[in-house]
Structure 1
Amino acid sequence: MIYLDQASSSFPKPASVAQAMADAVNTYGANPGRSGHQLSRQASFIIEETRSKLKDMFQAPSVERIIFTSNATAALNQAIAGLSWEKGDHVITTVLEHNSVRRPLERLRTEIGINVDYIGVDGNWTEEISKKITKQTKLVVVTHGSNVTGQILPIQEIGQLVSEYDALFCVDGSQTAGILPISMKEMRIDMLAVPGHKALLGPQGVGVLLVGTKVELKPLYVGGTGSQSEKPEQPCLWPIGWESGTMNTPGIAGLLKGILEVQSKGITDIHEHEKQLTSKLIQGLKKIDAITIYGPEEGEDRLGVVSFQLDSIDSHEIAIILDNHYQIAVRAGLHCSPMIHQTYQTTTGGLVRVSVGIYNTENEIIKFLEAMKEIKEGLLG
């Protein structure tokens, strides 16, 4: 199988990830932070070591304000719904956003009456946000990179702009964590949500929310924390007050090894590798008649994500053919980001998305392009 669906979940994983998860289950499978015995302490050590690595990788302001979640969706829900909202509060976001951002905002719009502005793809992102931001703006939340087009947003410029207001700045790093450098300090990011299972090379079932020191955040879940158990109310103590229940120790242990693999490869080298594959992919697709590519122009810095349309053929049909006849895995449809498809008028048939990762090769791209040439000839002549 040629796996070209890295934007959904990275595969394969480093062997060290699976080994670390097996060790967590077989060697020290105790509940971290709940008991004083050595197995519990070992589990806690792994979790705190992972927290420390995340702090260094993303230049977070505080290791205590790094909380583990089940995925980036849970992290974004905590970031958005955990703020204190009032009717008339204002939010700025973009049409590139995943439903993990859009749907929490739309729920707040319906239930509380907040106002949401969605910035389009035309023009300069920072300038467009500057036209909308006001004293009533409470939150600016944007993706760092589009999971549909591969477009990279100027996070540092946006962060500088937002820092001049009372608004908070939240970044969805789902497509960029492990591929592009992210510094919460330099980019003025107040909240950063990242998944463990994409470019950080960890397993599914682990996400992270890194929270700045000025953010007041209500935990979405309350319950057992292993500390201050005599109190009826949730402890206001980071990070345990935002991590109720048993931690996913095997998943976090796997994430730690994924982070170490990313660091050993080097983020700059990873991004350069993906850019080279993406350039070859785009150049090859452009040679096939009836294919339209969506996203940044060739030569513009982008992620290893390329979405395209083959004339009027439904994207799912192409994905099924690639899977069944060529053993090539891609993703078709709306990619949980419907507003950008509305912008491009591709909602009906969706787009075929090809996304590369650290372990993909040039030969795999060649084989994919050969398959697309045959598919085009077979469907359109």
Structure 2
Amino acid sequence: MTRLTMIAATLPLALLLSACGDAGKEAAPTEAHEEGEADHAQEDIVTLSADQIAAAGIQIGRPTLGGSGTIELPATIEGDPQGMQIVSAAIGGRIVALTRNLGERVDRGQTLAVIESREAALLKGEVEASRARLALANSNLAREQRLFAQKVSPEQDLVAARTAATEARIAYQQAQGQIAAAGGGGGGLNRLGVIAPLSGQVIGRSVVLGQMVAADAELYRIANLSTVSLSINLQPADAGRVKPGNSVTVRAAGRARVAQIRFVSPALDAQTRLVPAIATLDNRDGQWRVGEPVTASVQLNGSDDKAVRVPATAVQTVEGKPVVFVRTATGFRATPVTLGDNADGGIVLRSGLKGDETIATTNSFTLKAELGKGEATHEDH
């Protein structure tokens, strides 16, 4: 065989080997890419057996469909403006009696304090004098009516007597009205009693026995706290979804009760730029105190029957993003979700779940910790 013939015979074999070598170089990145995708897919998976899930105390369940959202806000308990009143002195004088202390129950019309003063004597003296003038005027009217019937007295005398009796009655009523406005009673000619304008509980007392007070000085504060108000400030974006009648769950240390929105302001507060709202809270058992800070979960309108709700304990944050752990055949998968409003102790999801999945509802933080361990192991490799 000539040298040229040998070269021609070996040339196809060299070209084939070269092509195989190039093909091996191109295949290597493809295999590495597929392996990387598989590893990335495994990063969101936590592999656990049923026994391990039970041992970790992880409870599973299904999301809930439908329901209105809620927003949680700080709020303050306030007294009902129509159920609170300041009791003040109508006249100046000296306090000679105080019949109620802080916290005691009072009924409408009961005497709370007695004031002794010269003005009280003048008012009561005027009542007695006007009563005597009225009695005299009525007596004269009766005599004139009798004489006129006997045709002894002219009609003009009867008219004059009738007018005098009417004026005397008006004067007596005015004197009684002044006494009533000042309080009335008191037990003496120079004393007036200050009475309770409503039934309730004494929540403030500003005077002591023997103290001199001026007219209009505050003596007591009385409140009917069987119903209290809840003061709430809403963001303008939320105020349009809150209407009178919406429920509000009020929570404080060891207590919870449902109130009802009574008023939503049509205008923003000039200083806070928030929308004031007021809710009414039943307080017949006296659990809620005026001025107490509480947490209010306000129901929002615009519920969606197809909205997916999950317990708040089912949502975890992984790499700064909210996830829910969905049950798989071998464990759980961290599924990214988009959060919406709070709703009845849970959270409405805007996206991420369809509602027919089985998810970890309790102790999902254990799965988050296991997921973190898996990521750390992957980085070590």
Q: Normalising TM by the smaller chain, what interval?
A: under 0.3
Which is bigger in relative contact order (C-alpha 8 A, separation at least 6)?
A: 2
Q: For the pair shown, which has the larger CA radius of gyration, 1 or 2?
A: 2
TM-score (norm 2): 0.22
